[in-house]
Structure formats: structure tokens, C-alpha cells
Homo-oligomer: A and B are copies of this chain.
């Protein structure tokens, strides 16, 4: 006689597999014992990557990092109590950045709710602010319909997570003692696999015709849903469409426009650069002034993509919620006035070249970006932290060798960056990955380094250590000197060599960017910290100087 817990849990896990889940991150606990044990057993025969991360906050961000790279749903499993609330930040980030993060939370059964039983909080609908759907499943119910029900509902939920707008899902699992599954059960499973046929993504012909003979500029924002990089690149070159590519767009390379925020800041864009129509893909660009510039110049803006539509500039007027790849394929049918478009393309390419030439004069943290750009290997995955590094990357990283850049850019938190980068690194064990991060964000998620130690993850962490939060130097409170450093600068005096020592990581320190290439070429196993010492005041001034020089360079 098979016990209900064992068979239902196996149906749950098989349904997840049928839905394409191959990565599981487990934070151990007592209440989630049956799921963890049966998952570990399943992982012996099926192709599953199973990670154990004892810190739940880290675990959820680690799972998020995996999902960003694989574009697949990833499960994080936790135990009852505040362990589950620790997932909240990553779930919020997944919500805003449209990541199919699947939260499985073990819970205590109804008779232990709300009455002082230990390790019990209100978990039903806990993530209702952030998830697309949630569901509570009773795995210990032995009604004969239950296994099949679980298999169906779970596949429906994971499908929901993956259709636009993508997002996280929460499955809450109240469990009674005894919690031990039958590890010797060999009941044959009959889990029906659902297949979903999607409606074709066809753009109506009259929509396409509206683009006829228009000067078109493509604006590619952060993209974590579909890979259209090759298609876009050949499309842009063949039809001479300039592309402003956010560093997180995964389409940036040296021919796409870099530094648009600086262009606007330095006020060097003239009327030749104005398109008739901008077609936006992806999420909100990092370049903070770009959308406002489009609005100010009343440039007709379309917003295309399955998750499209969130425009806080309230300017995009035509939303096309169709996959970008499909849209681009159909767009080739109409592009025709090649002369006008070619001239427009040249305007932008000329500016782009001029801008790129200036980068070689960069110093400090700005030059570090250029060094990273030079020294990374082809298609290398790079994770970039908020708040300063991602802005610098957007302005100064040309994508000479890679466009596989990732960040937690939904809610822009600094709380789970190391763990997410570790998750990214875990998906590409055969090549080294890279993380660029400041000292404050590193501190927030130092626990994420434990995954680097335990799984020997091949990640180089470049830390710009300027002893505090450098972003605040750019904000009005920098004038309030009396309280500034205590409230905003917040120097922590971290000794990065000691952090490396604590986690048994390789440690290097550079004071100029020259040495970076040599270090990156060294053969090393596991995670490495590379400290780049910087200074908040210098960094602030170097950024101001850059904009000033850019203005002068363009007005020459």
C-alpha cells in the first residue's frame, strides 16, 4: 500500500519535470523533508541540477539567477515559517522582471495555524502581491483523484509562469507529521504530460504598413524572456536600422549605440538623430533620461514584445504584445526606403564611433568597464550589480566579446546580487562567469559566497571598493555634509581579503585596470574576488568630467 504523501509528492515532482523544470534549489528544513528526500532520489536517475543553499534569501536569488540564463522555470523549495518570508525579495524581483520563479513552500497543516504552534506563520497567499497565481496542495490526501489533479494543476501553473506577462508562482504545501516518505516505493507513475499549442504571433498587415517609409530606430531594453539577438543583428545591418541597445538587452555589440544617457546629459543630440518611429523592445532601459527625451521630442513610440506595455514615461502609444522575433521576421516584408534609412543609420553610427573613441581617455571606475569589455572572453556571462555598476556598464561597455549581461533590474535591489550571480555561474560550469559589484551590495549578500565555496562555482567577482554607497554622491543629499556619511555614504570598512579568506576564495587586488587582463587569464578553480580600490569623491568627479569632455568633443 503506497502512502499518499509519497505518491502525491512524486506526481508533483514529475509534473514539474514535464513542465520543463530542471533546476531545483533547496533550503533544508524539517517540514519540507518529504519533498527534499524524494527530489534527491529523483535526481539520481533524472537529469536534474539540485542545489542546497541553507540561507533562504540567497537560495531564492540563486534560483532567480539560473532562470535568467536558462529562460526556464526554476524551483526554490523552503520550509515553514520565516524561512519562507526570506524568499519575498526574490519573488518581488521575479514579479517585476518577469521571471518564472517557482516557489514551493512547506507549511504546517490547518490545525496548527493561528494558535501559537511553533514555526508557523500565515503562508497561504503569502506572495499575492507578486505572484501570477498561487495554489495550496494537500499532499497527504489519499482520495484517488488527487495525484492526477496535482499533475494537471501543477503543469497549468508552470505554464502560466511562462506565458506573458511571465512571472513567479507559489505552491504552498501544508504537511502533517509523520513527514518521512517511503523511499522504497516503486509504484509505477502515470503522469500525463500536457502540451500547449500557442496561437501564432502574427502582426496584422496594416500595422506593418504604418512603418513603411519611416525612419526607424530600435530601442532594446533589458531582455530576460526570449533570445532574438542574432535575428536583430542581421536585421539591423541588412536594413540599416540603428539600435540603441541597453547593456541588458542581450543584443549589444560594438555596432549598437552605447552611452545614450550621456548623449542626452551632454545635450549633443540634434534633429538629424530624431527618428520618425521608435520601436521599443524589452523592459525599462537603464538610461534614465532616454524615455523622457523621446517624449519631449514627441517621437512616435511603439512597444513590442510578449511582456510589453509597462512604460512609466506614459509615451508609447502603440503596444504590440507579440514576440520580438516574430515581429522582426514580419518587419522584413515592409522595409524599403533604404536611402533615407541609410542616411539616418549613418548619423547614429558616426555619433557612436565618436563616443566610443572618447572611452579610451577614461580613468578610474569608468576605465574599469572598458578593461572588462576588452578582457572578457566570447559569450562570457556577466552579472552586474545595482546601483552604480549597472549604470556604468550601460554607459561604457561596448560588448566587444559578449552580450550575455544580467542584472536584477526589475526592482533594482542590491540584496541578492551575489546569489543571483552564483546561480548564473552554476549554469555554465564549463566557462568562467563574471560579477561586477560594489562593496555595499557585496556586503548585503555575502552569504551568497557560500555557494561559490560549496559548489566551486567558476565566478570572478570584481568588486569596486569605494567604501560606501557611491550612488548617493550623485544625489542632492550630498550637499548635507553634516549627516551625509552616516546616513548615506555608510562606509563599512570591509577588508575584502578577509571575506575571501572566510569563504576559501582566491583573492586578488588591482589598483589600476592594467593588471586585470593578466589576472583574468590566470587559470583558477572556483570563485575568485578581484578587488579594485576606488574612491567615492574621485569617482563622482570622473563622471562629471566625462560628460563635460563629451560635450566639448562633440562641439569641436
Contacts and interface: CB of A to CB of B under 8 A. Distances in A.
Interface string A111-136: 11011111111100110011000000
A475 interface: yes
Given A52-B487, A502-B495, A183 B310 contact: no
B115 A122 contact: no
Contacts of A119: 411-413
Contact of A284 (B118, B125, B314): B118
A81 interface: yes
A444 B59 CA distance: 12
A83 B120 CA distance: 24
Interface string A496-531: 001101101000000000000000000000000000
Contacts of A492: 54, 450, 454
Contact of A122 (B83, B114, B129, B476): B129
| Oligomer: number of copies | 2
Nearest to A38: B483
A195 interface: no
Given A82-B92, A121-B92, A310-B115, A443 B54 contact: yes
Interface in A29-56: 30, 33, 36-37, 40-41, 52, 54-56
A488 interface: yes
A339 interface: no
Interface in A455-487: 469, 471-472, 475-477, 480, 483, 486-487
A412 B498 contact: no
A57 B57 contact: yes
A483 B35 CA distance: 12
A204 interface: no
A444 B55 CA distance: 6
Given A122-B130, A446-B447, A117 B469 contact: no
Given A55-B443, A412-B118, A487 B26 contact: yes
Q: Sort A-B residue pairs by CB-CB distance and give the 9 closest, nearest first.
A: A82-B413, A116-B310, A117-B312, A82-B89, A116-B284, A85-B88, A115-B312, A498-B502, A119-B412
Interface string A88-118: 1101110110000000000000011011111
Contacts of A178: 476
Contacts of A92: 81-82, 85, 121
A68 to B, nearest CB: 16
Contacts of A364: none
Nearest to A291: B116
A143 B10 CA distance: 60
A321 interface: no
Interface of A: 26, 28, 30, 33, 36-37, 40-41, 52, 54-57, 81-83, 85-86, 88-89, 91-93, 95-96, 111-112, 114-122, 125-126, 129-130, 178-180, 183, 283-284, 288, 310-312, 314, 409, 411-413, 415-416, 440, 443-444, 446-447, 450, 453-454, 469, 471-472, 475-477, 480, 483, 486-488, 490, 492-495, 498-499, 501-502, 504
A56 B55 CA distance: 16
Given A33-B477, A85-B92, 8 more contacts: A36-B487, A55-B443, A82-B93, A85-B88, A115-B312, A116-B284, A118-B412, A495-B502
Contacts of A180: 476-477, 480
A29 to B, nearest CB: 9
Contacts of A130: 121-122
Nearest to A501: B498
A469 B28 contact: yes
A117 B476 contact: no
A238 to B, nearest CB: 30
Nearest to A477: B33
A260 to B, nearest CB: 16
B411 A82 contact: yes
Contacts of A504: 493
A311 B92 CA distance: 34
A97 to B, nearest CB: 10
A352 to B, nearest CB: 25
Contact of A88 (B88, B443, B475, B480): B88
A495 B499 CA distance: 11
A119 B312 CA distance: 12
A70 B446 CA distance: 31
A333 to B, nearest CB: 30
Contacts of A472: 28, 30
A310 B86 contact: no
A36 B486 CA distance: 10
Given A121-B129, A450-B492, A476-B180, A116 B312 contact: yes
Contacts of A91: 85
A314 B411 contact: no
A502 B497 CA distance: 9
A391 B445 CA distance: 30
Nearest to A483: B40
A314 B40 CA distance: 37
Given A28-B487, A82-B411, A178-B476, A95 B121 contact: yes
